[in-house]
Amino acid sequence: MADGPSATTSSSAEPARSGLDADALQRDVIDNLICLQARYPAIATPHDWYMALAYSVRDRMLARWVATVQTYAAREVRVACYLSAEFLIGPQLGNNIVNLGIEANAREAMQALGQDLDTLLALEEEPGLGNGGLGRLAACYLDSLATLETPAIGYGIRYEFGIFDQEIRDGWQVEITDKWLQKGNPWEIVRPDVTFYVPFGGRIQNETDADGRLRVRWIPANQVKGVACDIPMLGFRVNTCNTLRLWKSEAVESFDLQDFNAGDYYQAVQEKVISETLSKVLYPNDEPEAGKRLRLAQQYFFVSCSLQDMLRLLDLKGEPTQRFADMFAAQLNDTHPAIAVAELMRLLIDERQMPWDEAWDITGRALAYTNHTLLPEALETWGLPLFRSLLPRPLEIIYEINRRFLDDLRQRYANDEARVARMSLIDERGDKLLRMAHLATVGCHAVNGVAALHSTLLRQTVLRDFAELWPERFHNVTNGVTPRRFMLLCNPELARLLDETVGEGWITDLKRLQGLVAHANDDAFQERWRRVKLLKKEALAGRIRSVTGIVADPGALFDVQVKRIHEYKRQHLNALFIISLYQRLRSNPQLAVAPRCFVFGGKAAPGYAMAKLIIRLINGVAEVVNNDPAVNDRLKVVFLPDFNVKNAHLVYPAADLSEQISTAGKEASGTGNMKFMMNGALTIGTLDGANVEIREEVGEDNFFLFGLTADQVERVRREGYRPADYANSNPQLRDVLALITDGHFSRGDRDVFRPLVENLLQSDPFLVLADYADYVACQERVSAAWQDSRRWTRMSILNTACSGKFSSDRAIGEYCDQIWKIRPVSIALDRL
């Protein structure tokens, strides 16, 4: 290495830790390799080089971070606090390099050290601190908050084990523990001095204080210590670097001496074990919450730490507690942090001796709630015995909130006890259940859905009574995704073409992509557009081949469905169509069909048997189709294992067709649909979630619409849905189901898929069979459009051109204006 470290003696004037040129970076990488990894170049592993580079990039963020924190502390600013049980932030190195604007320099610096930047980027472990869309949304919002120079903190949980890694064995999903922290996390800065204690269990004691006022004392059985672990969140080409603060649980230093002295050593050890397991593992969603004591403990733990931290920051600023809501706007990402309503009340009343009415006013003004689901089985509830045993004091406060709320309701709706019972925070119909969505709605000043249709349905269904009572409380903020990660970082080839065509400003002003419309029919531009897409398809095909051995033809239509596996998302509807196509090709080998490669990806919750069976079916179909010489020149089916943010970078840019085929009314928004659109994929979809708005933006001619509407779905259900009738009256569908039943996709085993087929024929809760015929017909229109390359390319360009609305910058702008009333604060960077 002639131009190795020794070459750095003739160096630029830029300081090693902050200079953005290649020379300063190179010097810092060597410093960090030696001083932090304790390695020297000749023996450094690729991972050592990754760590050294990551620390060097982090060095360049820290001055911005400190300046940001300082500015927020010194100035009168309102801070958005995004409370979320999940932050699916994805790999950080590439994103931070892009946001700093040092990609070329980083590449040059590493090259000079004999290292390839892309190889190092691929080494980063994904922080899998989320399940899917909800956690990824939180991460996109942090990117936009920083990019828009908005004061913000993300608050969540530092899971030691994130979402499991998925492997496929014999067609089945196998879950592997995610050990993302094993090799260290260079982005994390632990703050042992920022710790809070969170009480659990025990009893309540009523006391009278010196002034003769009644005081409540919670004497917990156990306390858990929360330690702040910070990750810097840098905006795009700005100095703003906000904080993602994740709480790690630790046991309180010493064992409970009383227990110890009483000889109950094991009880004391037990409590310590519980404390340390609290932030161990992320719960996979789509599983029944019932009885998940640890899950409730996690929620309370991170909410309590976060609110205590906000109070600490208020004190640091010298502001009185009364100013809490002026200084903070806390957004609850779904009901997972809804306990914040009771916890903020507890902290204000018990810890800061505030009267109830004043505390209630502050709580309501500080908090806002985002609803993410209408599925009744996904609406969070907790059994009262469990809740009481863990959180006796918060439960008391919830009872008092409910008592006052129901009193008000009875004033307003005299003689309508049914309505009062429906709205109560407690469902008293069977075993008593605490309704977290009601708690959030009552305790927050704003409630929003995540797409126009979802917000409408929310007002009409699950929160109807509340929308009648407080219409002004309800909002819509359609979700968005960050174009930095999902265009610039993962599709630089497209980004370059966009720069040249509409100018560089599009990345922070995505509506400027409209400028592409003028080029949609231009042959030369179309050719360049197709070349970018082909490049991305070749890259995905390369990955598919190395991971699965399947050879995908980049010239084929890439038809992609990647998202969590769930019956409502209907991956099995897609599979039924593939089987019907396969059958048609088998019976008519000369049939002219456009070659297609179907790509699936997504994890099933470990306890969700039907979702796992759908994965098995897709892999069964793949095995048969890919090995049948009669069809495998035209059809390929791929299940790409372990769909996560890192793999997503490869998938979204390579798609021609985006499958968004959920049962109408079930997908709150979807965000995958937006990532596909930005990267020029056409959508085949139902009128569900944000699909409705995507179709509005791009125009109905450029969207493949099929299926029942949400209204029609409800009507079919009301009138008595009989799925078997659809199978009996459609020979093609009948044959498809028969082939599955006969074991054609399970090596002759007729039992494997029985539960799936029986479920479809007998109940089909998500109307797969009702939508089947229309879906197949719509796929015919897709095939026809694909045959006309000019037409397809035009539609592809128009999809990207019209995707501006779906930037998370737009969404965050709406939260700031409508809900948080927060304005940007720019960060000045004094001489580093």
Ligand X SMILES: *Cc1c(COP(=O)(O)O)cnc(C)c1O
Q: Which of 185, 222, 298, 671 contacts ligand X by CB under 6 A?
A: 671
Taking the complex as a whole, how short is the minimal distance between the CB of residue 672 and ligand X, in angstroms? 2
Among 760, 739, 759, 761, smallest CA distance to 750 is for 739
Q: Residue 372 catalytic?
A: yes
Taking the complex as a whole, how short is the minimal distance between the CB of residue 51 and ligand X, in angstroms? 24
Residue closer to ligand X by CB (options 387, 568) is 568
Q: Which of 644, 686, 779, 808 contacts ligand X by CB under 6 A?
A: 644
Residue closer to ligand X by CB (options 271, 688) is 688
Q: Residue 675 catalytic?
A: yes
The site for ligand X, by CB under 6 A, has a size of 13
Backbone angles phi, psi at 148, to 5 degrees: -85, 10
Among 57, 52, 176, smallest CA distance to 106 is for 57
109-148 mask for ligand X (x: CB under 6 A)? Answer: -----------------------xx--x------------
Residue closer to ligand X by CB (options 159, 643) is 643
Taking the complex as a whole, how short is the minimal distance between the CB of residue 683 and ligand X, in angstroms? 11
Stretch that binds ligand X, among 182-190, 375-383, 580-588, 669-677 (CB under 6 A): 669-677
Q: Which of 100, 163, 314, 645 contacts ligand X by CB under 6 A?
A: 645
Stretch that binds ligand X, among 23-31, 221-229, 578-586, 670-678 (CB under 6 A): 670-678
Contact, 601 vs 650, CB < 8 A?
no
Residue closer to ligand X by CB (options 132, 226) is 132
Catalytic position from the list 272, 473, 563, 566:
563
Q: What's the burial of 153, exposed, middle or buried (CB within 10 Å: 0-12/13-18/19+)?
A: buried
Cα dist from 592 to 61, 188, 776, whole Å:
55, 55, 16
**Distance between CA atoms of 560 and 782, rounded to whole angstroms?**
13
Catalytic position from the list 60, 64, 136, 372:
372
Name residue, tokens 């899971």.
159
Catalytic position from the list 435, 572, 675, 805:
675
Residue nearest to ligand X (CB): 672
- Residue 495 structure tokens: 């980004």
Stretch that binds ligand X, among 461-469, 539-547, 665-673, 716-724 (CB under 6 A): 665-673
Taking the complex as a whole, how short is the minimal distance between the CB of residue 272 and ligand X, in angstroms? 35
Catalytic position from the list 445, 485, 569, 805:
569
Q: Residue 666 catalytic?
A: no
Stretch that binds ligand X, among 73-81, 404-412, 630-638, 667-675 (CB under 6 A): 667-675
Taking the complex as a whole, how short is the minimal distance between the CB of residue 658 and ligand X, in angstroms? 9
Taking the complex as a whole, how short is the minimal distance between the CB of residue 630 and ligand X, in angstroms? 33
- Residue 349 structure tokens: 């009343």
Catalytic position from the list 564, 649, 666, 805:
564
**Distance between CA atoms of 231 and 190, rounded to whole angstroms?**
9
Taking the complex as a whole, how short is the minimal distance between the CB of residue 295 and ligand X, in angstroms? 21
Taking the complex as a whole, how short is the minimal distance between the CB of residue 603 and ligand X, in angstroms? 9
Q: Which of 19, 284, 483, 672 contacts ligand X by CB under 6 A?
A: 672
Taking the complex as a whole, how short is the minimal distance between the CB of residue 648 and ligand X, in angstroms? 4
Residue closer to ligand X by CB (options 58, 336) is 336
Q: Which of 227, 614, 648, 782 contacts ligand X by CB under 6 A?
A: 648
Stretch that binds ligand X, among 208-216, 386-394, 507-515, 643-651 (CB under 6 A): 643-651
Residue 811 binds ligand X (CB under 6 A): no
Residue closer to ligand X by CB (options 444, 645) is 645
Among 624, 561, 640, 615, smallest CA distance to 756 is for 615
- Residue 159 structure tokens: 């899971």
Catalytic position from the list 671, 683, 686, 800:
671
Contact positions with ligand X (CB under 6 A) in 39-58: none
Residue closer to ligand X by CB (options 139, 597) is 139
> What is the pairing mode between strands 682-685 and 704-705?
parallel
Residue 617 per-residue DSSP state: H
Residue closer to ligand X by CB (options 68, 333) is 333
Taking the complex as a whole, how short is the minimal distance between the CB of residue 609 and ligand X, in angstroms? 20
Tell me the CB-side half-sphere exposure of residue 276, using CA atoms within 13 A: 10
Rounded to the nearest 5 degrees, what angle is found at the Cα of 75, between the Cα atoms of 70 and 76? 140
Residue 670 binds ligand X (CB under 6 A): yes
**Distance between CA atoms of 314 and 366, rounded to whole angstroms?**
13
Residue closer to ligand X by CB (options 239, 663) is 663
Residue closer to ligand X by CB (options 129, 420) is 129
Q: Residue 612 catalytic?
A: no
Rounded to the nearest 5 degrees, what angle is found at the Cα of 487, between the Cα atoms of 486 and 491? 110
Instruction: Give the 3-state secondary structure of residue 213.
Output: coil
| Straight-line distance from the first to the last Cα atom of the chain, in angstroms, rounded to the nearest whole number | 31
Taking the complex as a whole, how short is the minimal distance between the CB of residue 481 and ligand X, in angstroms? 7
- Residue 506 structure tokens: 């599009």
The helix (run of H) or strand (run of E) holding residue 248 is: strand 241-251
Residue closer to ligand X by CB (options 343, 642) is 642
Q: Please name every residue paired with 449 in a beta bridge, in sequence order, or none if there are none.
A: 476
532-571 mask for ligand X (x: CB under 6 A)? Answer: -------------------------------xx-------
| Number of other CB atoms surrounding residue 568 within 10 Å | 18
**Distance between CA atoms of 329 and 708, rounded to whole angstroms?**
39
Residue closer to ligand X by CB (options 298, 660) is 660
Among 468, 218, 505, 473, smallest CA distance to 342 is for 218
Stretch that binds ligand X, among 111-119, 308-316, 641-649, 750-758 (CB under 6 A): 641-649
Contact, 368 vs 819, CB < 8 A?
yes
Instruction: Give the 3-state secondary structure of residue 687.
Output: coil
Q: Residue 292 catalytic?
A: no
719-727: long-range pairs with CB below 8 Å, 24+: 721/764, 721/767, 721/770, 723/760, 723/761, 723/762, 723/763, 723/764, 723/767, 723/768, 723/769, 723/770, 724/761, 724/762, 726/769, 726/770, 726/772, 726/773, 727/760, 727/761, 727/769
- Residue 53 structure tokens: 């580079």
Contact positions with ligand X (CB under 6 A) in 560-619: 563-564
Query: Which residues are the active-site residues?
Result: 372, 563-564, 569, 671, 675
By the criterion CB under 6 A, which residues form the site for ligand X? 132-133, 136, 563-564, 643-645, 648, 670-672, 675
